[in-house]
């Protein structure tokens, strides 16, 4: 079982009327098609083991849906923050990105990279394989291996499906869910209309009382559709995504670090350079540390964890580098 800790007041996982309406609609469709009706419980169908991390995740939102919604954030970021076209940055990042994507078995997918022309020491990834580096981060990381360490970390957020998990956790309790996935407001509105039509359609006269019930259900359904639009927009809006970029949990950050080292190794980079990078970052710390620190865990701790992980994977010999398992605490 996967656990998902919805707050107490968020327990209206699905508005019951809407759920009934959607289910009824599907039942009608299925019966018409001579099929079997199966209505999955959202909680169960949203639960899956991530093959990269080995962790169970509660996911209500798919990659393509997230990607579609993140497109606006990405376009806005590129419109608002100046990007550099200097190939010493852009070509370098693209080449490193391609190698790391290959190391993560995602080389055949489309990736989009941007280098923002600011001194900020930060990088982020948005759903849909969109990786943003600030020039300051590339200057600081300096070597290809260390840039690859940051790239690996960002790709780790992608393969770890961290954005989907985060959004699902934060919004799961408020979204209308059908067939185990959150559905966009426009889709839901279409379903509301179709459902009302199906209840009325083909009948010459519908008694007033029945009509009132259909109308009420329709109104409720439309209210939910609007709510879905609002929540999803708010969750994936500019402020939420850029800058702090989905404040990931410590667990997600650690997973990304280890996955990043794994992809570095698979891509032929030296994973120990990731350890060096975080040591360098720790040395920079001080009172006004790099921005990257504010959203990520203690760099010394990260360096240590990475060191232990890499050593352990090396000890495993030919069995190594297949998981993000850490050595047992001694
Ligand atoms: Zn991160």
Per residue in 291-324, pLDDT tens?
555 556 688 889 999 999 999 999 999 999 999 9
- Calpha distance 115→86 (Å, rounded): 9
By CB neighbour count within 10 A (0-12 exposed, 13-18 middle, 19+ buried), where does 28 fall? middle
Q: Ligand 1: distance of its center to the CA of 17 in Å?
A: 39
pLDDT reported for residue 2: 65
What whole-number distance in Å separates Cα of residue 189 and Cα of residue 277?
49
- Strands 177-178, 130-134: pairing is unpaired
Q: Give the distance (Å) from ligand 1 centre to CA of residue 150.
A: 9
| Cα 20 to middle of ligand 1, angstroms | 39
CB contact at 8 A, 292 and 121? yes
Q: Which long-range contacts (CB under 8 A, 24 or more apart) does 17-21 make?
A: 17/217, 17/220, 17/221, 18/176, 18/188, 18/220, 18/221, 18/224, 19/176, 19/178, 21/191, 21/192, 21/195, 21/217, 21/221
To the nearest 10°, report the CA torsion of 128, 129, 135, 139: 160
Q: What separation in Å is there between the alpha carbon of 256 and the centre of ligand 1? A: 6
Residues in the chain: 330
Compute the distance from residue 315 Cα to the ligand 1 centre, in Å.
27
131 Cα–ligand 1 center, Å: 12
Angle at 266 between CA 264 and CA 272, to 5 degrees: 40
In whole angstroms, give the CA distance from residue 299 to residue 318. Answer: 30
pLDDT in single tens digits along all 330 residues of the chain: 465 443 322 222 334 444 444 444 443 333 333 222 222 334 434 688 999 999 999 888 788 878 877 887 888 889 989 999 999 999 999 999 999 999 999 999 999 999 999 998 889 898 899 999 999 999 999 899 999 999 999 999 999 999 888 877 776 666 777 766 667 778 888 989 999 988 888 777 888 898 899 999 999 999 888 887 777 766 655 444 543 345 677 888 999 999 999 999 999 999 999 999 999 988 887 544 555 555 566 888 899 999 999 999 999 999 999 999 998 875
> Is residue 229 a contact partner of residue 184, using CB atoms and an 8 Å limit?
yes
253 C-alpha to ligand 1 centroid (Å): 5
């Amino acid at each position: 079982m996967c656990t998902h800790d919805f707050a107490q007041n968020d327990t209206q996982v699905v508005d019951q009327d809407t759920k009934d309406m959607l289910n009824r609609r599907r039942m009608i469709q299925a019966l018409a098609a001579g099929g079997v009706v199966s209505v999955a419980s959202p909680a169960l169908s949203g639960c899956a083991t991530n093959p990269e991390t080995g962790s169970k995740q509660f996911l209500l939102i798919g990659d393509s849906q997230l990607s579609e919604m993140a497109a606006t954030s990405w376009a806005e970021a590129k419109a608002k923050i100046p990007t550099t076209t200097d190939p010493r940055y852009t070509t370098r990042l693209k080449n490193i990105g391609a190698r790391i994507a290959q190391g993560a078995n995602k080389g055949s997918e489309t990736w989009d990279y941007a280098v923002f022309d600011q001194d900020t020491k930060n990088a982020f990834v948005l759903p849909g394989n969109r990786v943003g580096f600030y020039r300051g981060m590339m200057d600081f990381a300096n070597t290809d291996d260390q840039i690859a360490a940051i790239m690996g970390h960002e790709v780790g957020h992608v393969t770890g499906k961290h954005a989907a998990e985060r959004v699902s956790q934060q919004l799961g309790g408020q979204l209308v869910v059908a067939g185990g996935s959150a559905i966009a407001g426009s889709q839901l509105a279409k379903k509301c209309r179709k459902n009302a039509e199906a209840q009325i359609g083909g009948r010459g006269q519908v008694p007033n009382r029945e009509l009132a019930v259909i109308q009420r259900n329709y109104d409720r359904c439309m209210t939910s559709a609007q709510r879905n639009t609002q929540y999803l927009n708010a969750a994936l809006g500019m402020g939420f995504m850029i800058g702090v970029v989905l404040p990931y949990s410590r667990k997600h950050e650690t997973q990304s670090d280890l996955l990043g080292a794994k992809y570095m190794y698979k891509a032929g980079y030296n994973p120990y350079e990731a350890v060096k990078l975080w040591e360098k970052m720790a040395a920079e710390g001080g009172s006004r540390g790099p921005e990257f620190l504010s959203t990520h865990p203690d760099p010394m701790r990260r360096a240590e964890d990475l060191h232990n992980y890499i050593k352990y994977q090396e000890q495993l010999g030919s069995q190594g580098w297949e998981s993000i398992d850490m050595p047992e605490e001694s």
